[in-house]
C-alpha cells in the first residue's frame, strides 16, 4: 500500500466516540485497529519500515495503547523497550513531566535509568497523545512532515535530569 492508501485503510478502522471523555471532545479510539489483524500488522510493518531507518537505540511507548504498538515495534526492530507511564505507575525512581490536554492536564513518567545520555529514542503513540510527550519535552509520536509516523530523538544528559527539553535531530 502507498502512504495515502495505508492512511485511508487505517482511518476507516478508527472509531470516533463523540463527547468523550468530555463534551465537545471527539475521542479517536484506536482499539478497533487492534481488533483487526490486518490493520494491526499493517501498523507494525509501516512503523518498522519507516522507523528502522531512523537509527533509534530504544523504542519508548506512551501508556497504555502505545505499549501495544511500541512493544510489537521494539520486538520487530530488535530494540529495548521503555514504558512512558502515567504518574505513580512505575516502581523505581522516575523522571516526571506535566502536560496540558484539551480537556485537562496529566503527568507522565519514565524510569530514571531508562535512557542514557545520547540515546536515540523512538517514541510511539498510536492514540495521538503525542501532546503528552511533546508537552513533557520527550519528543513526540507523530512527525508532521509527510508520511513519517515517528522519528528518533537524541536524549541530552541534562534532559535525563529533567532540566532541558529535547530537540528533534
CB contact set of 160 (below 8 Å; sequence gap of 6+): 95, 112, 115, 116, 117
Say what the pTM is. Answer: 0.68
Q: How far is CA 127 from CA 29, 74, 165, 167, in A?
A: 7, 17, 22, 22
pLDDT band at 162 (very low <50, low <70, confident <90, very high): very low
Helix 65-77 to helix 37-51 angle, to the nearest 10 degrees?
A: 60
With 90 as the cut, is the pLDDT of residue 26 above it?
yes
**Structural contact between residues 47 and 149, judged by C-beta atoms closer than 8 angstroms:** yes
- Check residue 9 and give its pLDDT: 95
When mean pLDDT is compared across 5-19, 85-99, 115-129, the lowest value belongs to 115-129
Is the domain 3-160 a CATH 3.40.50.2020 member?
A: yes
The domain ranges of the chain are 3-160
CB contact set of 55 (below 8 Å; sequence gap of 6+): 120, 152
Amino acid at each position: 500500500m502507498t502512504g495515502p492508501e495505508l492512511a485511508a485503510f487505517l482511518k476507516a478502522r478508527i472509531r470516533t466516540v463523540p463527547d468523550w471523555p468530555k463534551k465537545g471532545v471527539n475521542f479517536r479510539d484506536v482499539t478497533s485497529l487492534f481488533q483487526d489483524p490486518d490493520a494491526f500488522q499493517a501498523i507494525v510493518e509501516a512503523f518498522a519500515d519507516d522507523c528502522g531507518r531512523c537509527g533509534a537505540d530504544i523504542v519508548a511507548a506512551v501508556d497504555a495503547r502505545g505499549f501495544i504498538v511500541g512493544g510489537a515495534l521494539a520486538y520487530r526492530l530488535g530494540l529495548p523497550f521503555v514504558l512512558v507511564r502515567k504518574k505513580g505507575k512505575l516502581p523505581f525512581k522516575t523522571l516526571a513531566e506535566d502536560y496540558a490536554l484539551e480537556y485537562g492536564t496529566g503527568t507522565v513518567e519514565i524510569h530514571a535509568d531508562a535512557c542514557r545520555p545520547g540515546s536515540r529514542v523512538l517514541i510511539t503513540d498510536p492514540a495521538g497523545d503525542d501532546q503528552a510527550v511533546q508537552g513533557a519535552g520527550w519528543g513526540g509520536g507523530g512527525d508532521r512532515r509527510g508520511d513519517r509516523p515517528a522519528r528518533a530523538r537524541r536524549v541530552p544528559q541534562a534532559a535525563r535530569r529533567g532540566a532541558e527539553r529535547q530537540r528533534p535531530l
